[in-house]
Amino acid sequence: MFEVFVPGRLCLFGEHSDWAGAWRSVQSDLEPGYCLVTGTDQGLHATVEPTTAVVEITSLLPDGTLAGPERIPADAAALDAAARRGGFFSYAAGVAAEVALRHRVGGLRLTLRGDLPMGKGLSSSAALCVLVARAFSRAYGLGLGPRDEMDLAYAGERRAGSECGRMDQVCAFGRRPVWLRFDGPDLALETLEPGGPFALLIVDLKRGKDTRRILKDLNACFPTTPGPVARGVREALGPRNADLLARARAALCAGDAAALGAQMTEAQARFDELVSPACPELRAPRLHEVLASAAVRELTFGGKGVGSQGDGCAQVVARGPGERDRLVRQLEAEFHVSSLPLTLAPGGAA
The pLDDT of residue 350 = 43
**275 occurs within a structural domain:** yes
Contacts with 298 (C-beta within 8 Å, 6 or more apart), sequence order: none
Q: Is the bond into 223 cis (omega within 30 degrees of 0)?
A: yes
Both 130 and 218 in one domain: the answer is: no
Both 254 and 222 in one domain: the answer is: yes
The pLDDT of residue 277 = 97
CB contact at 8 A, 263 and 316? no
Three-state SS string over 219-274 comes to HCCCCCCCCHHHHHHHHHHHHHHHHHHHHHHHHHHHCCHHHHHHHHHHHHHHHHHH
d(CA 153, CA 162): 12
Both 220 and 279 in one domain: the answer is: yes
Q: End-to-end distance of the chain based on CA atoms, in angstroms? A: 24
**229 occurs within a structural domain:** yes
**349 occurs within a structural domain:** no
**Torsion of the alpha carbons at 16, 173, 154 and 204, rounded to the nearest 10:** -50
The pLDDT of residue 161 = 83
Both 212 and 135 in one domain: the answer is: no
Cα dist. 70→6, 109, 126, 229, 312 in Å?
21, 10, 19, 42, 27
Residue 151: CATH number of its domain: 3.30.230.10
Residue 77 three-state SS: helix
Q: State the total domains in the chain.
A: 2
Both 211 and 339 in one domain: the answer is: yes
What is the residue type of 227?
G
Both 243 and 162 in one domain: the answer is: no
Contacts with 316 (C-beta within 8 Å, 6 or more apart), sequence order: 200, 201, 203, 261, 264, 291, 296, 300, 301, 302, 303, 327
Of 191, 207, 237, at which residue does a domain stop?
A: 191
The pLDDT of residue 62 = 72
**23 occurs within a structural domain:** yes
**350 occurs within a structural domain:** no
Both 316 and 276 in one domain: the answer is: yes
Of 164, 191, 218, at which residue does a domain stop?
A: 191
The pLDDT of residue 87 = 82
Of 191, 219, 247, at which residue does a domain stop?
A: 191
The pLDDT of residue 126 = 87
Q: Which domain holds residue 222?
A: 198-344
d(CA 305, CA 270): 12
Number of residues that make up the chain = 350
What is the residue type of 131?
L
Both 166 and 275 in one domain: the answer is: no
- pLDDT tens-digit series, residues 205-257: 998 888 889 999 999 999 999 999 999 999 999 999 999 999 999 999 999 99
Both 102 and 219 in one domain: the answer is: no
pLDDT under 70: residue ranges of the chain: 118-122, 348-350
CB contact at 8 A, 9 and 40? yes
Both 178 and 203 in one domain: the answer is: no
**33 occurs within a structural domain:** yes
CB contact at 8 A, 4 and 131? yes
Q: What is the pTM of this model?
A: 0.82
The pLDDT of residue 65 = 84
Residue 188 three-state SS: strand
Residue 334: CATH number of its domain: 3.30.70.890
Q: What is the DSSP letter of 163?
A: -
CB contact at 8 A, 294 and 177? no
Contacts with 349 (C-beta within 8 Å, 6 or more apart), sequence order: 174, 175, 176
